């Protein structure tokens, strides 16, 4: 990508999209197309068609998606599958037909089977049943991957698909009804600290293990792969290490400064027992993450404290 290349970041206000914009701007890319949902509704096929016809971006980072944690996915499965299928279909098809040079599609580690062998290799896709709590979202993301592959095979469209692990960082969603586990823990322990609570309740048993990657590391990997990777095969992006939810809760509580008791509510779902990505393919290309988990959590908490007026309730 030349520095003056016309680059469209779909979903630039979200956790991943905003990190991509930071990374692009830090590298002096100056011709970015950034549109809000009010300016361009990606579920509207005619609007997307009109945008690509008029703007003709050369490169596309498809980071727009409806995302959420276990509660949101379980409560609104129709919204998750419909909205994500609409966005992906509209953007990928219009990008191909209007001459985009390369498109980067962001999937999710939840595309893999619930009980996939660990660490999860890219070839484990579609080898077993999905986690039921986020099945609708996962199926939409799998469809996006397969669409990118199909357009490459049939039309020669240069589309690549990244599978990020659990992400966190500035711009995250801290709403307890729809957030993922790490921002939810930051919010819970912060509220507990402010309220002087004697305990904070965490969903599940604390036993599941999860891998986390700071979103600025993900953005760095995305730009690296946009330059260095041109295969239809999906590629995992992660830290290569995982931590139990119980250990994570302790770490977040320490960072936030919550001194009370951590209680696990065993009546709430755990989700997938373990989800650690095999990142040997990515590491073999020469990329490594730079932000350690505890330092990343501390930076994210600082951002939370400094931006509480912007943080979703």
Where does residue 74 rank: exposed (0-12), middle (13-18), buried (19+ CB within 10 A)? middle
pTM: 0.93
Which parts of the chain are beta strand (E)?
A: 7-10, 32-33, 59-62, 102-106, 159-164, 166-168, 199-203, 209-210, 212-214, 235-237, 243-244, 261-265, 274-275
180 assigned ligand-binding residue:
yes
The DSSP secondary structure of 96-138, one letter per residue, reads HHTT-SEEEEE--GGGS-TT--SSBPGGGTTSSPPPGGGHHHH
Tens-digit pLDDT string for the chain (313 aa): 999 999 999 999 999 999 999 999 999 999 999 999 999 999 999 999 999 999 999 999 999 998 877 777 888 999 999 999 999 999 999 999 999 999 999 999 999 999 999 999 999 999 999 988 889 999 999 999 999 999 999 999 999 999 999 999 999 989 887 788 999 999 999 999 999 999 999 999 999 999 999 999 999 999 999 999 999 999 999 999 999 999 999 999 999 999 999 999 999 988 778 889 999 999 999 999 999 999 999 999 999 999 987 775 5
108 assigned ligand-binding residue:
yes
Q: Please confirm, yes or no, whether 137 is among the known catalytic residues.
A: yes
69 assigned ligand-binding residue:
no
- Catalytic residue from among 8, 137, 168, 301: 137
CATH number of 7-168+211-241+275-291: 3.40.50.720
């Amino acid at each position: 990508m030349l520095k003056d290349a016309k680059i469209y970041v779909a979903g630039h206000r979200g956790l991943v999209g905003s990190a991509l914009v930071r990374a692009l701007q830090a590298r002096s890319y100056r011709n970015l197309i950034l549109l809000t949902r009010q300016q361009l509704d990606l579920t509207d096929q005619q609007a997307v068609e009109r945008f690509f016809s008029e703007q003709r971006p050369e490169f596309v980072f498809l980071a727009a998606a409806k995302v959420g944690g276990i509660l949101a996915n379980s409560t609104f499965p129709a919204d998750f599958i419909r909205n994500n299928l609409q966005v992906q279909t509209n953007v990928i098809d219009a990008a191909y037909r209007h001459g985009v040079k390369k498109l980067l599609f962001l999937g999710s580690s939840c595309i893999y089977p619930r009980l996939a062998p660990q660490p999860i290799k890219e070839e484990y896709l579609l080898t077993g049943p999905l986690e039921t709590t986020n099945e609708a979202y996962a199926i939409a993301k799998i469809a996006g991957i397969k669409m990118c592959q199909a357009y490459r095979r049939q039309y020669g469209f240069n589309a690549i698909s990244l599978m990020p692990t659990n992400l966190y960082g500035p711009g995250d969603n801290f709403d307890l009804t729809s957030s993922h586990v790490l921002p939810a823990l930051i919010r819970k322990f912060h509220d507990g600290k402010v309220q002087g609570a004697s305990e904070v309740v965490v969903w599940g048993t604390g036993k599941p293990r999860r891998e986390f990657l700071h979103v600025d590391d993900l953005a760095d990997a995305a730009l690296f792969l946009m330059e260095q990777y041109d295969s239809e095969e999906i590629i995992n992006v992660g830290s290569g290490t995982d931590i139990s939810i119980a250990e994570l809760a302790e770490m977040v509580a320490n960072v936030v400064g919550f001194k009370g008791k951590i209680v696990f509510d065993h009546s709430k779902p755990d989700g997938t027992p373990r989800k650690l990505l095999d990142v040997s393919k990515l590491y073999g290309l020469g990329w490594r993450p730079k932000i350690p988990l505890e330092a990343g959590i501390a930076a994210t908490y600082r951002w939370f404290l400094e931006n509480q007026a912007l943080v979703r309730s």
